[in-house]
Structure 1
Amino acid sequence: MIRRLWAQAASVEETLALWAASLREVKKRIRPLFGQERVARNAGLFLEGLLGDEQRKTGWMRAEAAGDPGPWRQQAILGRSDWDADALRDIVRDYVMEHLADDDAVLVIDETGFLKQGKASCGVARQYTGSAGKITNCQIGVFATYVSRHGHAFIDRALYLPKEWTDDPDRLEATYVPADVGFATKPKLATRMIARAIAASVPFNWVAGDTVYGVGDLEQQLRRAGKGYVLGVNSAHVFRSWGKRPPVAGTAAELARTRRPSDWKRLSAGAGTKGPRLHDWCYLELADLDAEEFNSVDQGLWTRGLLIRRRIADDDLAFFSTWCPAGTSIETLVAVEGHRWAIEDSFETAKNEFGLDHNESRSWHGWHRHVSLVMLAFAMMAAIRHRANPTPPKKTKRRHAAKAKTKPPPN
């Protein structure tokens, strides 16, 4: 794990020392969650197991790494011990804010699947997951990832319960689902996460998400909160302009077909593993609205719009509903949409490196505890990476002005 963190900005020795200090710090932070010292110690060993180099983070593997003769102590952390996974979630969020906070951050909402056998694991059902690209037997978790110029890490999570679960009291009781948990759509779970982030004064200016979250209550919530968004919508979603010339009306797909070649702009949505992630983009401003219509804090005009992405290789289209301060450039909106790659990277890393999908517990509490511990491990490594490789200072207009003043006059 240390090897994967090393970079030229910090020596291996410095990174090792930073890793050890960070691990001591996070163990100290989570200690109040556990009533007994032995349980706290086992939780620390559980965390060390997630951070270890073992490819599989199963109970037996973690037990072997901890020097235990069997997996029962590791399994007890998820199932038999009494501690609050939501309190750990909040510790993770606060830890991420201490290390990665930035006012221009993007909160990215997305989901991932956890493939399962049988019907006993809480929330398991035959349902679609993008992880497998098909309908299969799995659990679905909805996540919020905080993405800033300093790095990215999970700050919230929720297990999605299909109606076949919430309509079956026996299954809920068997997996220890709390009595106050009822059916909630994935967008509803997302609105709760955003509400928790806002209540905790998490600094962010934007929210990004795919088509599952793009229309409805989530948009209204963000407008009332004064947050911009770039949210996916399907090709049949209808857009209409008002107060703009020329007026437009139609489905997203129809509006895309009417765009002229000069309306498109080739832009990068960020750096990928093979270089800039270039696409062709088109942005339609649909209406300017007074922010005071939605909340009493913000003032000025905000713009409702449609952002269209066209893949260069095959002209495949994707559509996004946007909300932003008037005058926001298409480059800014493309950059916000490009932040969505971070949650995909987070899922891949968390599954491959930290055992996000290696949970063997079948209960509601077991899922949230396991996932929250993985989130803590991920956050710790994200903080180390940032501290070992400091982010360059953010450019400001003042810096640009100072640079312009010191520039020698032309000959």
Structure 2
Amino acid sequence: MAPSSIPSDSESRFSAYVEALGAALGHSDRIAPARRYCAGLLLPGDRKSIEPMAARVEPGRVQATHQSLHHLIAKADWSDRAVLAAVRSRVLPALEQHGPIQAWIIDDTGFPKKGTQSVGVARQYCGQLGKQDNCQVAVSLSVANDHASLPVAYRLYLPQAWAEDADRRAKAGVPDDLDFATKPQIALEQIRAAQADGIPPGMVLADAGYGVDTAFRDGITALGLTYVVGIQSSTSLWPPGQAPLPVKPWSGRGRPPTRVSRSAEHKPVSARDLAAGLPKEAWRRVTWRQGTHAPLASRFAAVRVRPAHRDYKAATPRPEEWCLIEWPPGEAEPTKFWLSTLPATISRTALVRHAMQRWRIERDYQELKQEIGLGHYEGRGWRGFHHHASLCIASYGFLVAERAAIPPLSRAQRPTHPGT
């Protein structure tokens, strides 16, 4: 199904789908504009901001439709969390027909912006541009299995300069009770909320922007969840079989020692140095999935280590976990590193496949941005930014549910030409 159109045989299901969001929208008179807004997001068109969508969905009543859609998005007081809950109640059962939820994927995405007044805009790293630039950044949580994925939480990151600027906050309608939070703190809050809402659990996947945050990893573990998260090559680790020095015996004077320690001769190493010191036999070729033209494969090592970040302030060493390292053939040095609390008995192949499952979030954002118009909202306010995103996710959720209902091809029906 092409994501930019609604086939005629799906129109009735689309109407029923949006109708089911009615209670979350707060008033029944919001259902009709929500249906128009979601239809505008799904229909063909280069720009998915309010004015061009109004012209596409109601060409004979453009001005009135524009006012209706603008009120729904920028003014109406409805709960984004309630709408996303209604979306997942309709979409997750369709997903789970293809297998249980396996992963909770944390990521953030940037939207290039000009000016300084759009809520949360600042000079910061923008993944879409691959560099620092003026942009907005939002943090999301998606749930995924082998078949598909669905965003279930979405929140704008508010840089500290914004969080401390009362005038700009007031103009943009930032909630009074919203304090500054780092992206890993926002992500952990989304994970806690997902648990509280009873969303089927999965291992947490995230890139190094989150994985390097020790408090983030500890927070996941405290919630009883496992993770596979990226880390930087400079992350300090205790190599296999090593740990910090035990607490020193009490001399009988002063306070008894309570912390582990290290010395000039006994100290952790960086993930990069750990990889460089591994023997040749530690590296194996692993294929994790079929790509567009060929199987996706690379060379990996997986060793049991102890994270060492500030462990000299702890009474006991950190538990062992996996350090997964990718060193593609032909590269001068390793390119990617992960830490994982998946069981010690897991195979290297399974560990790699779980780490690589994070690619699904890239597909989510590709469709949400290129086809649904996630980054096309032109308003400046907090409410409008999140209302637009919620209905983008709702529209994407409809596509996910429709695709999940399509029976898989039998082996005899599958194309055999290259690239399938």
Structure 1 match to 2:187: 190
Alignment match of 1:55 (pick from 32, 46, 55): 46
Percent identity over the alignment is: 28
1:1-400 aligned at under 5 Å gives the runs 2-3=1-2, 16-17=8-9, 19-67=10-58, 68-70=61-63, 71-101=66-96, 102-103=99-100, 105-214=102-211, 215-241=213-239, 249-286=268-305, 304-315=321-332, 316-390=334-408
With over 3 angstroms needed to count, the CA separation of the structure-2 counterparts of 1:142 and 1:82, relative to structure 1, is same
Deviation for aligned residue 1:313: 4.6
Partners of 2:321 and 2:26 in 1: how far apart? 51
Partners of 2:240 and 2:350 in 1: how far apart? 23
Deviation for aligned residue 1:386: 1.2
Which amino acid counterpart does residue 58 of structure 1 have in structure 2?
S
Root-mean-square deviation over aligned CA pairs: 2.5
Per-residue Cα deviation, 1:347-382 (whole angstroms, up to 9, x for no partner): 111111000110112111111111111111111101
Partners of 2:374 and 2:297 in 1: how far apart? 31
Per-residue Cα deviation, 1:254-312 (whole angstroms, up to 9, x for no partner): 01101222111111233333332211111001269xxxxxxxxxxxxx85121101233
Which amino acid counterpart does residue 63 of structure 1 have in structure 2?
A
Larger strand fraction of residues:
1
- Quick check: 2:239–2:269 contact (8 Å CA) kept in 1? no
Partners of 2:281 and 2:227 in 1: how far apart? 25
Deviation for aligned residue 1:3: 3.9
With over 3 angstroms needed to count, the CA separation of the structure-2 counterparts of 1:391 and 1:327, relative to structure 1, is farther
- Quick check: 1:280–1:309 contact (8 Å CA) kept in 2? yes
Partners of 1:55 and 1:224 in 2: how far apart? 45
Which amino acid counterpart does residue 297 of structure 2 have in structure 1?
L
Partners of 2:146 and 2:409 in 1: how far apart? 7
Once the two structures are overlaid, the 10-residue window that deviates more, 60-69 or 383-392, is: 383-392
How many residues align structurally? 369
- Quick check: 1:78–1:361 contact (8 Å CA) kept in 2? no
For the residue of structure 2 that corresponds to 1:388, the secondary structure is coil
- Quick check: 2:75–2:383 contact (8 Å CA) kept in 1? no
Partners of 1:172 and 1:313 in 2: how far apart? 50
- Quick check: 2:227–2:340 contact (8 Å CA) kept in 1? yes
TM-score normalized by the length of structure 2: 0.82
Partners of 1:190 and 1:147 in 2: how far apart? 16
Partners of 2:38 and 2:377 in 1: how far apart? 13
- Quick check: 2:4–2:371 contact (8 Å CA) kept in 1? no
Deviation for aligned residue 1:318: 0.8
Per-residue Cα deviation, 1:222-277 (whole angstroms, up to 9, x for no partner): 222332211111111011157579x9941100011012221111112333333322
Partners of 1:112 and 1:34 in 2: how far apart? 26
Partners of 1:248 and 1:104 in 2: how far apart? 40
Once the two structures are overlaid, the 10-residue window that deviates more, 67-76 or 185-194, is: 67-76
With over 3 angstroms needed to count, the CA separation of the structure-2 counterparts of 1:312 and 1:92, relative to structure 1, is farther
- Quick check: 2:301–2:326 contact (8 Å CA) kept in 1? yes
- Quick check: 1:264–1:282 contact (8 Å CA) kept in 2? yes
- Quick check: 2:203–2:227 contact (8 Å CA) kept in 1? yes
Partners of 1:279 and 1:210 in 2: how far apart? 18
For the residue of structure 2 that corresponds to 1:123, the secondary structure is coil
Structure 2 match to 1:406: none
Once the two structures are overlaid, the 10-residue window that deviates more, 209-218 or 236-245, is: 236-245
- Quick check: 1:93–1:156 contact (8 Å CA) kept in 2? no
For structure 1, list consecutive stretches of 5 or more residues without a partner in the other structure: 7-11, 289-301, 393-411
Per-residue Cα deviation, 1:102-156 (whole angstroms, up to 9, x for no partner): 5451111111101111111100001111211111110001111211023112111
Partners of 2:406 and 2:283 in 1: how far apart? 40
After the TM superposition, which segments of 4 or more aligned residues of structure 1 sit over 6 Å from their partners? none
For structure 2, list consecutive stretches of 5 or more residues without a partner in the other structure: 244-265, 308-318, 411-420
Structure 2 match to 1:399: none
- Quick check: 1:113–1:140 contact (8 Å CA) kept in 2? yes
- Quick check: 2:303–2:322 contact (8 Å CA) kept in 1? yes
TM-score normalized by the length of structure 1: 0.84
Per-residue Cα deviation, 1:73-121 (whole angstroms, up to 9, x for no partner): 2221111222222211222233332222354511111111011111111
Partners of 1:269 and 1:248 in 2: how far apart? 34
Q: Find the structure with the greater CA-based Rg.
A: 2
With over 3 angstroms needed to count, the CA separation of the structure-2 counterparts of 1:384 and 1:308, relative to structure 1, is same
Once the two structures are overlaid, the 10-residue window that deviates more, 274-283 or 353-362, is: 274-283
With over 3 angstroms needed to count, the CA separation of the structure-2 counterparts of 1:63 and 1:194, relative to structure 1, is same
